[in-house]
């Protein structure tokens, strides 16, 4: 028999009902005991840009649809949640990196306690404090409510505070989409001069903490075989502690709106953080600049580049003018329409642990060009065109070929759509995640019994 989610849970409603002279069916009682009370932790949860926020949004919805109770603990930016049954508990930071005022200095009245002082001091010395400070705040919140949850799911926080969750007698499951050590390596390679390199090393100082926590935290879920290899290599996690569970796609938003032949002529669409070297937007812009000298093409990037940052400077340098447009803050419906309007979709990343955008492009029926990097070959398979990461000439040649061949675009788009329908569905991801929760709960219960605890 499957163990219940909480060894200390009260008597079932059926037994309580019999003592009061009424009856609840065994099936209803089993369903009640099978419902889990889940705490989802995420230090920042952008709803449309950034895999952590997208993952949180869809997983929480599907968990609730399976009948479980979900409470999300998040710092800013807060997530968009798709069900009114999901509780959002805000764990506010000082919000030092808000889009309209990054690296801001808060007013003295905004400081509430020593954690805020630590966060500000960390930022002022060039570090990124949010994983650490969120984990401490979340642990403090969970201490007050340790009996409210059957399991805690950490969405790649990996802060030192997480190590205290085990002492609260709550099972913990951790998602690592990919180790941020990979981002650090790529950004250091792209850094120019000793000052910039030292700045990047300081910014990514939290990676050492995440590595330490990952080795001690217990069961880990990751999204691809490629990510598992990198977690073992960079974080030294025991591979026996890591399970692979691919992500899903929301086909209510991402689906074809008509045949590829009716899409906006010459339109290339990418969804990626514009100024992050790991995402390869610079490679895409250089390739489009080459193609645009011979073909009528334009590119739309779903992102908000930093004002007068490296991407805006590159656009001016390449004289792309109205050939490139950046969009952000659009609704789900607008995003779905945009993705489905692409004549060609591109994921030009230098690395991906999974790449939800790749799956969303394929779900939209768009012919996909993706880098042969990280997990992208694993995710895309033979349902897209793969190119060498960072190779501007190869990407430009591929864009020209697809632009000139409606037949190949149609074939690649159909193959991508078929792959998504076969492999990537959020309900299945949620159901598999629940089984990992139950395994963690069972392990905790056995350890308690072995220690002689009731």
Mean pLDDT by 10 residues, the chain (454 residues): 37 38 41 82 81 91 97 95 97 93 95 98 96 98 96 98 94 97 94 94 97 96 96 97 94 90 94 92 98 97 92 96 94 95 97 95 97 97 97 98 97 97 92 97 90 74
Pair 235, 259: CB distance under 8 Å: no
Determine phi and psi for 214, rounding to 5 degrees: -60, -35
| Confidence at residue 15, expressed as pLDDT on a 0 to 100 scale | 38
Residue 220: beta bridge partners? 174, 242
Using CB atoms within 10 Å of the CB of residue 272, give its burial: 0 to 12 exposed, 13 to 18 middle, 19+ buried: buried
| Confidence at residue 240, expressed as pLDDT on a 0 to 100 scale | 96
* CA distance to 116, 147, 152, 220, per residue, from 217 (Å): 25, 20, 12, 8
Q: Can you tell me the distance from the alpha carbon of 253 to that of 88, in angstroms, rounded to the nearest whole number?
A: 23
Distance between first and last Cα of the chain: 19
Q: What angle do CA 49, 52, 57 make, to 5 degrees?
A: 85
Q: Can you tell me the distance from the alpha carbon of 206 to that of 324, in angstroms, rounded to the nearest whole number?
A: 35
Pair 40, 172: CB distance under 8 Å: no
* CA distance to 82, 179, 285, 399, 407, per residue, from 292 (Å): 40, 36, 10, 10, 21
Pair 232, 393: CB distance under 8 Å: no
| Confidence at residue 454, expressed as pLDDT on a 0 to 100 scale | 62
Q: Can you tell me the distance from the alpha carbon of 344 to that of 366, in angstroms, rounded to the nearest whole number?
A: 6
Q: Which two tokens stand for residue 249?
A: 């796609």
| Confidence at residue 48, expressed as pLDDT on a 0 to 100 scale | 63
| Confidence at residue 21, expressed as pLDDT on a 0 to 100 scale | 41
Q: Positive or negative, the Cα torsion across 122, 124, 125, 131? A: positive
CB atoms within 10 A of CB 353: 27
Q: Which two tokens stand for residue 201?
A: 């090393």
Q: How far is CA 426 from the centre of its chain?
A: 13
| Closest by CA position to 51, among listed 325, 300, 316, 374 | 374
Question: Domains of the chain, with CATH numbers?
Answer: 33-248+426-450 (3.40.50.2000), 260-423 (3.40.50.2000)
| Closest by CA position to 346, among listed 371, 328, 322 | 371
DSSP count for the chain of H helices, then E strands: 17, 13
Q: Which two tokens stand for residue 415?
A: 């193959």
| Confidence at residue 259, expressed as pLDDT on a 0 to 100 scale | 83
Pair 343, 264: CB distance under 8 Å: yes
DSSP result, 23-61: ---HHHHHHHHH--EEEEEES---SSSSHHHHHHHHHHH
DSSP 8-class letter at 248: -
- Whether cis (ω within 30° of 0) applies to the bond prior to 52 is no
């Amino acid at each position: 028999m499957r163990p219940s989610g909480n060894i200390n849970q009260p008597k079932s409603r059926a037994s309580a009902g019999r003592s009061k002279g009424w009856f609840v069916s065994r099936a209803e009682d089993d369903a009640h005991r099978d419902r889990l009370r889940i705490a989802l932790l995420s230090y920042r949860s952008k709803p449309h840009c950034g895999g952590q926020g997208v993952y949180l949004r869809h997983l929480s919805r599907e968990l609730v649809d399976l009948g479980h109770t979900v409470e999300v603990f998040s710092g800013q930016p807060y997530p968009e949640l798709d069900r009114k049954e999901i509780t959002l508990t805000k764990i506010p930071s000082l919000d030092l990196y808000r889009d309209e005022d990054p690296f801001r200095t808060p007013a003295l009245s905004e400081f509430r306690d020593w954690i805020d002082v630590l966060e500000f001091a960390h930022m002022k010395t060039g570090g990124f404090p949010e994983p650490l400070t969120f984990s401490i705040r979340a642990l403090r919140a969970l201490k007050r409510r340790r009996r409210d949850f059957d399991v805690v799911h950490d969405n790649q926080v990996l802060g030192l505070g997480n190590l205290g969750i085990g002492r609260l007698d709550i099972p913990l499951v951790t998602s690592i989409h990919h180790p941020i050590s990979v981002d650090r390596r790529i950004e250091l390679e792209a850094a120019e001069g000793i000052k910039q390199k030292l700045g990047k090393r300081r910014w990514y100082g939290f990676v050492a903490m995440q590595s330490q926590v990952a080795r001690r935290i217990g069961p880990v879920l990751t999204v691809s075989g490629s990510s598992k290899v990198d977690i073992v290599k960079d974080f030294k996690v025991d591979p026996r502690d890591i399970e692979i569970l691919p992500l899903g796609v929301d086909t209510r938003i991402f689906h074809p709106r008509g045949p590829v032949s009716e899409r906006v002529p010459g339109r290339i669409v990418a969804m990626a953080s514009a100024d992050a070297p790991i995402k390869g937007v610079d490679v895409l812009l250089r390739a489009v600049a080459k193609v645009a000298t011979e073909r009528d093409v334009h590119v739309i990037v779903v992102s908000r580049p930093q004002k007068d940052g490296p991407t805006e400077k590159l656009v001016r340098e390449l004289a792309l003018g109205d050939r490139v447009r950046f969009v952000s803050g659009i609704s789900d419906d607008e995003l779905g329409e945009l993705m489905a309007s692409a004549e060609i979709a591109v994921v030009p990343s230098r690395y991906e642990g999974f790449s939800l955008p790749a799956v969303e492009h394929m779900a939209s029926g768009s012919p996909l060009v993706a880098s042969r990097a990280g997990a992208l070959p694993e995710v895309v398979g033979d349902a897209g065109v793969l190119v060498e990461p960072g190779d501007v000439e190869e990407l430009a040649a591929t864009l020209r070929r697809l632009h000139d061949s409606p037949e190949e675009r149609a074939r690649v788009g159909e193959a991508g759509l078929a792959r998504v329908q076969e492999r990537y569905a959020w309900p299945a991801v949620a159901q598999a995640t629940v089984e990992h929760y139950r395994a963690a709960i069972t392990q905790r219960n056995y350890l308690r019994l072995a220690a002689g605890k009731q």
